[in-house]
């Protein structure tokens, strides 16, 4: 927390706005619009809820197909399943670890050949690294398929100086406890199309028709963010750039000390077009070049010192629950899962904490 969050929450109490609507909700939405450049934003109960609503707004029905990244957190894919639609999983490119544009086009062509046009494409900006949005948008536009960006981990990340989450028809953010900023739990839907955001607010508040009594013509959801949570969000927006600077600094620190080691490869911005918030600093470990030291060796060496580090996301096509869905692969995400490690990256890490992590890793690698 930055400090001002408690004042916004107190203001909500003092003015008795303890509701899923109120001035902080409007204020937080305006803050997000100003920060990302999206024309409109709706703050919601979670990033998952935002994705669910985005797919509903696109008219995704049972049996429809939605293309997404296999290399992601399950929350990207679950909302497709909520609607009875079929996730079509696409592998990663080596440069960004995100959706491989070439495989995306292969997948689209193959689905069209099988007689079905995908209803949406959900690229993910994993670990804060922007996906190759120029090529993905070019392909999506050519085949006329709407894009919903999963920018849950990437608030503040930019591609060609434009915020991720604002390239597609819609984008989603998450403010879950582990993300770059948090409202304890929450999310947002972004779009330049006002009618989509207005409709998302309607669906998120139980789809109440405009009548003095409770009248419903559509199925609704209870997905709005509370005025309390939005108050925390407003405070967090005052420190988001500080959080990003800290995360980027941690990344630079790790890179400085580990890059010289043969066989340690960082997920890093592949070119000028990319600006990552470096939500997490991630590496892969090539045991053929580290003298046999594996990712697991490093993870366990850290665990021995009571330092938690986790493997990268396990790809969705390897998950028991999604393993039978169509998958277009090139081996990249499986390799990342096998060899990858997320290093401790919290915004609250001290200089001493970082030094401890590096000391343990270098000792194991020497």
Contact footprint for ligand PLP (CB under 6 A): 46-48, 72-73, 75-76, 124, 150, 152-153, 174, 176, 187
Query: For ligand PLP, which is the closer residue by CB, 72 or 281?
Result: 72
Helix or strand run (H / E) with residue 222: none
Q: How far is the CB of 269 from ligand PLP (least distance, A)?
A: 19
Q: How far is the CB of 333 from ligand PLP (least distance, A)?
A: 14
Q: Tokens 């948090």, residue?
A: 182
Query: For ligand PLP, which is the closer residue by CB, 196 or 342?
Result: 342
Query: For ligand PLP, which is the closer residue by CB, 153 or 269?
Result: 153
Query: For ligand PLP, which is the closer residue by CB, 172 or 365?
Result: 172
Closest CA to 185 of 175, 173, 200: 175
Query: For ligand PLP, which is the closer residue by CB, 176 or 200?
Result: 176
Distances (CA, A) of 308 to 89, 186, 303, 339: 29, 25, 6, 17
Q: What is the C-alpha to C-alpha distance for residues 83 and 64, in angstroms, rounded to an integer?
A: 9
Q: Is the dihedral of CA 286, 290, 293, 295 positive or negative?
A: negative
Q: What is the C-alpha to C-alpha distance for residues 356 and 354, in angstroms, rounded to an integer?
A: 5
Q: How far is the CB of 43 from ligand PLP (least distance, A)?
A: 11
**C-beta separation of 187 from 49 below 8 A:** yes
Distances (CA, A) of 118 to 43, 87, 96, 168, 323: 27, 10, 24, 15, 19
Q: What is the C-alpha to C-alpha distance for residues 178 and 7, in angstroms, rounded to an integer?
A: 22
Q: How far is the CB of 124 from ligand PLP (least distance, A)?
A: 5
Q: Measured in whole angstroms, how far is the alpha carbon of residue 299 from the centre of its chain?
A: 24
Query: For ligand PLP, which is the closer residue by CB, 22 or 187?
Result: 187
Q: How far is the CB of 82 from ligand PLP (least distance, A)?
A: 12
Q: What is the C-alpha to C-alpha distance for residues 143 and 67, in angstroms, rounded to an integer?
A: 13
Q: How far is the CB of 191 from ligand PLP (least distance, A)?
A: 17
Distances (CA, A) of 306 to 169, 257, 283: 44, 21, 20
Residue nearest to ligand PLP (CB): 47
**C-beta separation of 278 from 247 below 8 A:** yes
**C-beta separation of 52 from 85 below 8 A:** no
Query: For ligand PLP, which is the closer residue by CB, 28 or 73?
Result: 73
Query: For ligand PLP, which is the closer residue by CB, 153 or 354?
Result: 153
Q: How far is the CB of 289 from ligand PLP (least distance, A)?
A: 30
Q: How far is the CB of 38 from ligand PLP (least distance, A)?
A: 17
């Amino acid at each position: 927390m930055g400090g001002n969050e408690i004042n916004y929450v107190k203001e909500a109490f003092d003015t008795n706005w303890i509701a899923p609507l109120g001035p902080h909700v409007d204020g937080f939405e305006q803050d997000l619009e100003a920060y990302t450049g999206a024309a409109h934003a709706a703050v919601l109960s979670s990033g998952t809820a935002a994705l669910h609503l985005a797919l509903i707004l696109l008219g995704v029905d049972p049996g429809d197909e939605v293309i997404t990244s296999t290399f992601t957190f399950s929350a990207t894919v679950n909302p497709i399943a909520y609607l009875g639609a079929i996730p079509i999983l696409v592998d990663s490119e080596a440069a960004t670890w995100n959706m491989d544009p070439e495989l995306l086009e292969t997948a689209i062509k193959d689905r069209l050949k099988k007689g079905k046009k995908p209803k949406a494409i959900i690229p993910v900006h994993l670990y804060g690294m922007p996906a190759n949005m120029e090529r993905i948008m070019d392909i999506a536009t050519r085949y006329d398929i709407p894009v919903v960006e999963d920018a849950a981990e990437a608030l503040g990340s930019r591609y060609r100086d434009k915020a991720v989450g604002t390239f597609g028809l819609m984008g989603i953010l998450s403010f879950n406890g582990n993300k770059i900023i948090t409202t304890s739990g929450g999310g947002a839907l972004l779009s330049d199309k006002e009618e989509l955001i207005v409709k998302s607010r309607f669906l998120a508040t139980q789809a109440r028709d405009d009548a003095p009594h409770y009248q419903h013509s559509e199925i609704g959801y209870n997905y709005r963010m509370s005025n309390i949570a939005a108050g925390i969000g407003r405070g967090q927006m005052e420190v988001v750039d500080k959080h990003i600077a800290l995360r980027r600094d941690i990344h630079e620190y790790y890179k400085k000390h580990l890059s010289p080691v043969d066989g340690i490869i960082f997920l890093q911005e592949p070119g000028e077009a990319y600006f990552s918030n470096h939500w997490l600093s991630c590496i892969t470990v090539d045991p053929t070049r580290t003298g046999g030291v594996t990712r697991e060796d490093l993870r366990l060496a850290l665990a021995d010192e009571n330092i938690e580090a986790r493997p990268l996301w396990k790809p969705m096509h390897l998950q028991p629950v999604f393993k039978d869905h169509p998958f277009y692969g090139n081996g990249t995400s499986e390799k990342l899962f096998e060899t990858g490690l997320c290093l401790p990256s919290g915004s609250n890490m001290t200089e001493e904490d970082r030094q401890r992590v590096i000391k343990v890793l270098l000792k194991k690698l020497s």
